Amino acid sequence: MIKARTRLTAASTQTREHILLAGERLFAEQGFDNVSLRQINTAAGQRNSSASHYHFGSKEALIKAIYAYRMERLNVRRNQLLADLPPGDGPRPVIAMIEILIYPMVEEVEGSEGGRNCMQFLSQLFSHPMMNLVDMWRSQFGESVGRIYYELRTTLAHIPDEVFGPRFGLMWLLAVNALADRERLSSTAVGAVSSALPVLYVSNLVDTLAGLISAPVSASTQAEILELRSGGQRLA
């Protein structure tokens, strides 16, 4: 009886992952609004037409489960990289933290099953009105993303709170969209560019994100911050 349950659990887990990966691929290729659970069932090779509904309940729940599946894998890798950092009392270099944020995403794309669909899926997810981006974003702050955030906040303590948080969020969205674009470029580039561009693209992306998060705050932005802190309001 115990062995039978184990086999059933393993089969159920495998079915769930098949549905997750099939859903991620179809959503990445066709968008959230153009894909049904029935289509995902078929793509996942499920004879039971209600398998997706049984495992996830709704399309929105499946989308959230795909997001959680990818984020969990990224968290494991980022936490490994954070643990491998040499001990030190001072602030961590900005570039090092950005690399820990970005390179696991590249590894997931290039080295995991269905990973080529990952960034396309996330790019659509973060721009779709049906998803609560704030809640999904906050859910990651208990994990490796939060650790990177606070490491960068310590290193860049001179940047006002009012701009650091929005910059970090913008950096995250830019990274996801840029890596999604990288996949499109990789599929169309030819000759020597085909092998060289993706590597240079990511390295340049890391530099760009580091510049974004650590850019000096201009006098006009400082004035707006002072106005905000004094309780004043300005029209956009």
CATH number at residue 121: 1.10.357
Name the band, by pLDDT with cuts 50, 70 and 90, for residue 51: confident
Is 195 found in the same domain as 129?
yes
Rounded to 5°, the CA angle 195-196-202 comes to 110
Is 184 found in the same domain as 121?
yes
Is 208 found in the same domain as 190?
yes
186 belongs to a structural domain: yes
> Are 151 and 54 in contact, with CB atoms under 8 Å apart?
no
Per-residue model confidence as pLDDT tens digits over 138-185: 776 668 999 999 999 999 999 999 999 999 999 999 999 999 988 877
Residue 174's CB: how many other CB atoms inside 10 A? Answer: 14
What's the domain count of the chain?
2
Using CA atoms, how far apart are residues 73 and 108, in angstroms rounded to an integer?
8
Name the band, by pLDDT with cuts 50, 70 and 90, for residue 7: very low
235: left (phi > 0), else alpha (psi -120 to 50), else beta? Answer: beta
| pTM of the full structure | 0.84
44 belongs to a structural domain: yes
CATH number at residue 36: 1.10.10
121 belongs to a structural domain: yes
What residue numbers bound the domain in which 193 lies? Answer: 66-229
> Are 98 and 209 in contact, with CB atoms under 8 Å apart?
yes
Per-residue model confidence as pLDDT tens digits over 87-131: 877 889 999 999 999 999 999 999 999 998 999 999 999 888 877
